[in-house]
Amino acid sequence: MTTRTDVDDIAAAFTAHFGHAPDGVWSAPGRVNLIGEHTDYNEGFVLPFAIDRSARVAVRLRADATARLVSAYGNQGLVTVNLDTLSPGTMKGWTAYPLGVLWVLRQQGVALRGFELYLDSDVPLGAGLSSSAAIECATALAFDELLGAGLAPADLVLVGQRAENEVVGAPTGILDQSASLLATEGHAVFLDCRSRESTLVPLDLAAAGLLVLVVDTKVTHRHATGDYAERRASCELGAEVLGVASLRDVDAEDLAEAAGLLDGETYRRVRHIVTENRRVLATVDVLGTDGPAAIGDLLTASHASMRDDFEISCPELDLAVDTALANGALGARMTGGGFGGSAIALLPAAGEPTVRAAVVHAFAAAGFTAPDIFAVTAAAGARRLDR
Ligand code: GLA
């Protein structure tokens, strides 16, 4: 992982590897989900924002069918691939993200060309901040333009999701790619995952004297492994038993009846989704009427629901949330898929040193790995960077 570098540095790194300048540099951010967790694949509501950390790809097309890829990650060296042989099983390591996108574009009828690609990113890996979606979205945007595919951002969301589902093997929804591709600076993206309609919701934290602090617990979890898929399966079972197309169709008023029809665990999973959808809608309302200082309790209630009903938290996430709340945060919750990754805390900007110190101290006292703590702002979505 490198620190933030600007477009000239990325282009220079490309030139150092490949001996000539790139055709362009494209950037796509990671995200924080403000609220609405595991609701995306239940056709529900989410409210993420793009963060000021991003993946950047410098790309130049070639005349043949050879792809040459190199990244600033570690020292894995140059990877050379013949695009004619591209298939999901053959893509390994970080190259599965960009090459997965290329494979999906080809499946959708886009004629590929060989290329050189250099990747850099300052979205922390495995921290629940969508480092993989950032790579997919930067790549999708770059090749949409370079190959003249003419896809709309909402279509590129599905390209990225398909790469994640069919190549990386993680059965995820559209939250991450939507945040990365559809966000704008100073706004959260309110997304209806059934209709795929999105609305930009103003989120000017600084004007309200607030900030969002990310606590990366350093507990990593990959969604291609069992737990995420298990939660998804529970939701599908719940919907089937309740006779609905998806849990989006279950209202809070239906929960009492659902309790009698479902086993205890499935009921708790369903209750999280149903109440979380309500909390997303309430958060959008409250942001509009009273501003961000008033959404803290909704965030904290969301965490309790994920901890107790959906059971996707972990001791490190709970400690980050509890410590932030005990030291002046207005609300706090884990963000992203869970089982590790990051928590977010909404707090008065002046309270940052106190919360930061308290969380560091609490993690040390518990014998946990020291967390990484940083503030994020609602940043711009994916775009081509000018040189
Ligand atoms: C991961 C997935 C998303 C979403 C979240 C949970 O980030 O990639 O699709 O399901 O988990 O809200």
CA distances 219 to 56, 121, 252, 343, Å, are 25, 20, 33, 11
* Residue with CA closest to ligand 1 atom 2: 172
At 224 the pLDDT is 52
Distance between CA atoms of 182 and 188, rounded to whole angstroms? 9
pLDDT in tens, 347-380: 999 999 999 999 999 999 999 999 999 999 999 9
Spacing, Cα 334 to ligand 1 middle (Å): 12
Question: What pairing do the DSSP bridges indicate for beta strands 66-71 and 115-121?
Answer: parallel
| CATH number for the domain formed by residue range(s) 4-201 | 3.30.230.10
Predicted model pTM: 0.96
Helix (H, G, I), strand (E, B) or coil at 67: strand
* pLDDT value at 56 more than 80: yes
**What is the Cα Rg of the chain in Å?**
21
Locate the ligand 1 atom nearest the alpha carbon of residue 172 and give its number.
9
pLDDT of residue 225: 61
- CATH architecture of the domain covering 204-376: 2-Layer Sandwich (3.30)
Domain boundaries, the chain: 4-201, 204-376
Q: Which residue in 40, 120, 176, 216 is the catalytic one?
A: 176
pLDDT of 19-52, one tens digit each?
A: 999 999 999 999 999 999 999 999 999 999 999 9
Residues 260-313: tens digit of each pLDDT: 999 999 999 999 999 999 999 999 999 999 999 999 999 999 999 999 999 999
Distances (CA, A) of 256 to 68, 263, 349: 57, 13, 41
Closest CA to 301 of 281, 271, 324, 279: 279
The 10s digit of each residue's pLDDT in 177-231 is 999 999 999 999 999 999 999 999 999 999 999 999 999 999 987 665 689 999 9
The number of the ligand 1 atom at minimal distance from the alpha carbon of 39 is 12
Question: In the annotation, is 176 catalytic?
Answer: yes
